[in-house]
Amino acid sequence: MSRPAIPDDSELRDRIRGLDLDSKIRLLTGAELWRFPAEPRLGLSAVTMSDGPQGVRGTGDDPDETGLLAPAPSALAATWDSDLAERLGVLFAVEARRKGVDVVLAPLVNLQRTPVAGRHFEYFSEDPLLTGTLAAAVVRGLQGRGVGACLKHFVANDSETDRTEYRARLDGRTLREVYLAPFEQVLAEAEPWSVMAAYSGVDDGVESAPMTENVRLLREVLKGEWGYAGPVVSDWAATRSTVASAVGGLDLAMPGPEPLWGRPLVEAVRAGEVDEELVDDKVLRLLRLARHVGRLDQPGAAPVPAEPAPEEFRLLRDVAARGTVLLRNQEDLLPLSPTGLRSVALIGPNAVAPYLQGGGSAYVPAIRTVSYEEGLRAALPDGVRLNVHRGGDARLRLPYASAELLTDPDTGATGIRADHLDADGNRIGGKVDVTGDWTMYDTFAPDTQRVLFRTRLTLTKPGTHHLEFGCAGRFSVSVDGEERLAGGDDRGVELVLESSHSHPPQRGIDVEVGPEGRTLALALDLTVVDAGGYGRFVTAQIRHAPPGPTPYEEIAEAAAAAQAADVAVVVVGTNEEVESEGWDRTGLDLPGHQNDLVRKVIAANPRTIVVVNAGAPVLLPWADEVPAVLWSWLPGQEAGHALADVLLGRTEPSGRLPWTLPARAEDVPVPDARPRDGIVDYAEGVHVGHRAWDRAGLVPAFPFGHGLGWTRWTYESVNLSPTPVSAASLTSPAGGDGLNLTVALTNTGPRAGREVVQVYLEPPRDGVDRPVRLLAGFATVQAEPGARVTAEVHVPARAFRIWDVEASAWRTPPGRYRLHVGRSSRDPHLTAEVTVDDSRLHPAV
């Protein structure tokens, strides 16, 4: 890989020499949660960071701040379109500048190694090439507008269970060919200005260390071999040592101030345990980042419009629609023709409450959200009836207690009272709000030690009412003066790292209510959690469900509505209880009774379309019984408009699966993400995702790369234009020398369409353990009905190469290779052969 050009740093080095040691080390840890410090003597203004990757979260300075909510990265990856990804990166940059953000903590280029990974929706793909290509485009879009990207999480941090503790054990070849590959590609193609080291560690048989201390991977590979010139930033609260992390290659410990750096690091330098030249290099890397984002000797970034422009909303809508994957379309049920359409039944728990974004640090308070119901009502012609039925609840947790049931006991006004108490129990402040959700509540004085929540809950409907309470840390819950629940968790930052701060365990009680109704006095007494750089907070959640119909009664009502409609649209999927940062899923089944709902609706109306609203794979046991199935991902704020565009044929669902959809749980190559004795063993080696399915010879529900679109394509011919493999390309991850394929194809269907031409490389069976097939290149083309088009696909020399662990170098095994050109990993249409000898690629004769 060619090293990126580094600007002349001599003047910056001169500035650094003018700082004393304490001042330099002060710059190496955050000044607060989202910023690292300013230093006027260097001309350095504070640099502000914020979470991505579904938008720009902001810093929390304005609790009412909202922003643009994009589709999840897996939805973007489903477009297989780097130009579209770059445009989305530009949008993120504009949004960042609106919020005063200089660096967006995105994109994530970890791989979807297992479908149960909690952050699966935040990753692009199970394939390193598709991941690297799309991520590089996002980085180019961001940084082309002067906003830094922070590539994360380096490296092999592909699951959430015990994520701060485990080590990924994988051999050197797997590390290079699979998990380092997308990082290397993005660094080569887009030169991101910062990289984040993961919580977890890596054991590759050479070194076993947490990533914040991994000398070989951070200093030798990332900074040395690859020539990376920016800072390595810790994941938040991932720094666990002073000397080992400073020597290991970490440059910025976040958030801050980090107690393990600061004074301890000053003392380590003076004791000779850390070379001061290392400190200078860290400061230099931070100054390079600041120079890139306009925070060095500059007044700041140019202003941008305060409000999003219409084209920004349009782009989010287009990404969501184009990323939608048409998995199945029997008898061309889709797109729907408005002609003669009189009624539509919109059914399902996710039809009523769409799941727009994943849980955790990716969460963005959206400037607006368009529900599926709103989108369809706006798009359907006047006179077409739209009947909406939930068909049962798919959530494990109850909804938050509604405001009309809550009364402040002091004033009689609507709401819950929060009393802020000091160490002696004296009230020193308070607040009243109408919500039952007090997650990470922190708007209290520094002297606050406890927060006491009080309300009267009035229940009028006779029957059994269910109450749930979710509290983080140390707490007690009293009902009518009697303590009913209590907890004694005194941890601090650990509650944040495992997501208990926002997703605490729920503990419930049942309350019987007679015809006369009942009022309960609730009191929740919580000790303030001190989470270090994450601040001081409490979390209290009050949830309530009244007596109501059973799930099967709701399903029966939905089936009746479907029977009476011309067409039924059933939206099933996951929710924030299932897919989130902080934990991995325990299985692949749809939550609740959604499979029963789908089957009842199919029986009631054969013209049924099922829309899957999920970021990660779920099992669809009825997939071959439904005439039409769409995968709509976590589609962001424009969900309703995007789905309406697809259903009514305004936008082609040209998405292709960026991962493999299993038919059976027992077929999944990596079925869980749980560490064993602190180790996650990557025993499958280079056979990740679709490669593992091919190796095992198993048939998935739908293969990697699958997607139908609105039209049909005929693949006609493929021509190869080989170029010699030069020494410079030996380490080139996705570009440089290799092969150029020209593929001719014709749109033989009735509508204009977009096709993703995919090329898979089949190595020779020469005894080396290699994938049966691997994705080697792809291109997106579009054509009108009957039109012929050519796709130019580059297959890099790296696709033919393997990592030689003993030689610590790439090599190309000689032999005859096949290139399969087609519509998915399991749907080849054309084949060409290539012979490798003497480090050259030749079309086979």
How far apart, in Å, are the Cα atoms of 703 and each of 1, 470, 777?
Answer: 32, 40, 17
Among residues 810, 792, 788, 791, the alpha carbon closest in space to that of 801 is found at 810
Tell me which amino acid residue 437 is: D
Among residues 332, 338, 336, the alpha carbon closest in space to that of 569 is found at 336
Please pick, among 127, 203, 235, 737, the residue that the annotation labels catalytic: 235
User: Which one-letter DSSP state was computed for residue 231?
Assistant: P
Distance CA 416, CA 408 (A): 5
- 181-190 vs 128-143: helix crossing angle, rounded to 10: 30
Which residues neighbour 271 within 8 Å (Cβ) at sequence distance 6 or greater?
Answer: none
Whether 437 sits among the annotated catalytic residues: the reply is no
Distance CA 453, CA 472 (A): 14
Helix, strand, coil % (nearest 5) of the chain?
Answer: 25, 30, 45
Which residues neighbour 70 within 8 Å (Cβ) at sequence distance 6 or greater?
Answer: 54, 55, 76, 88, 91, 92, 316, 319, 636, 637
* Cα-Cα end-to-end distance for the chain: 31
How far apart, in Å, are the Cα atoms of 394 and each of 464, 596, 597, 619, 747?
Answer: 20, 12, 11, 15, 41
Which residues neighbour 415 within 8 Å (Cβ) at sequence distance 6 or greater?
Answer: 403, 406, 407, 408, 432, 433, 434, 435, 455
User: Which one-letter DSSP state was computed for residue 213?
Assistant: G
Torsion 602-606-611-612 (CA) sign: positive
Q: Tokens at residue 758, please?
A: 């995919």
Distance CA 423, CA 460 (A): 38
In which element (H, E) is residue 837 found?
Answer: strand 828-837
How far apart, in Å, are the Cα atoms of 755 and each of 599, 708, 828?
Answer: 32, 9, 14
Residue 254 near residue 533, CB atoms below 8 Å = yes
β-pairing, 567-573 with 608-613? parallel
Distance CA 618, CA 597 (A): 15
Distance CA 294, CA 301 (A): 6
CA 381 remoteness from chain centre: 36
Query: From the CA atom positions of the chain, what is the Rg in Å?
Result: 28
Catalytic residues: 235
